[in-house]
Structure 1
Amino acid sequence: MNDEYIKNVKNDRFAQLLGIEIIEAYPGYALVELVIEEKHKNGIDIVQGGVIFTLADYAFAVACNADGTATVGINASISYFNAPKGSRIRAEAKEESKQKKICGYKVEIKDEDGTLIASFSGLGYRKRTKEGG
């Protein structure tokens, strides 16, 4: 993990507030994790969908910024399949395409048993490359 490249996403105060941690990151890839706490649950005692979305969105951000390019999301969608079981969930982001200005990522969110919780697709706009373009 190159800390210099991911300094912007490591400073994400909302991810810090939720307790999301970066497990692994390199250009085009990220794995992030959240230990489920009571504050993450909704009124029917399951993890709130916005928490799952934020976990996926953060994995997307880490993966597409890990090459040193300042990248912001311009489109995202998520499909939910199962409520998480256990005490933690992970989001794994993988690059599907990358051009000079636009990149696409798929993120799978799974619980600790490996059950697919949700699938997220993100499209990013690469604002500045490390070469300055």
Structure 2
Amino acid sequence: MQSSQNGAPAASVEDDPQALADRVGEAMLARDAASRMLGMQVEAMAPGYARVSMPVRDDMVNGHQTCHGGLIFSLADSAFAFACNSGNQNTVGAACNVDYLRPAFIGDVLTAEAEQRSRSGRTGVYDVTVRNQNDETVVLFRGRSHQVRGEVLEVMAADA
């Protein structure tokens, strides 16, 4: 077991929700080839919260020369996944609703901010707002999660 700077035993990751959320985010991104392929970066994690960004590249636009709605959805869905798994319980999406409010263009940097609104038993509700670099809201997404068996990480007491 590691010690803190004052000589007391360091808190385990299990006892530190922020440290756990950070480790979950790192592990999930490492295993998430789709999010990495789209250039997503996890900017912040906290219990029930995630902020994920994605640049809009020229290979992401549709016939209207705007970012394909499915790719913006993917960003919102990834932020939702990071937020609802932040407590290290395997959680999947059960349903969602998305509202497209404005287009995104090549060169935009989109940021999805996911926040837990409710969690009870094995279900949760999360709101995700996707904004561009000008802080203009592009998409509003509401997702409902369902906890399944297992953990994202295997947290060992000796790993603290």
Q: TM-score, normalised by structure 1?
A: 0.90
Matched, 1:112 2:133: yes
Q: State the alpha-carbon separation in 2 of the partners of residues 96 and 128 from structure 1.
A: 22
1:1-133 equivalences under 5 Å are 2=20, 3-6=22-25, 7-84=27-104, 86-128=107-149
Distance apart, 1:93 and its partner CA: 0.2
Aligned length: 130
Contact 2:56 2:104 in 1 (8 A): no
Stretches (4+) displaced over 3 A: 1-4
Greater fraction of residues in strand: 1
Q: Which structure has more helix as a fraction of its residues?
A: 2
Structure 1 segments unaligned to the other structure (5+ residues) = none
SS in 2 for 1:83: coil
Residue 11 of structure 2: aligned partner: none
Larger Rg: 2
% identity of equivalent residues: 29
Q: CA RMSD in A?
A: 1.6
Q: TM-score, normalised by structure 2?
A: 0.76
Structure 2 contact 29–36 (Cα < 8 Å) conserved: no
> Unaligned regions of 5+ residues in structure 2, if any?
1-18, 152-160
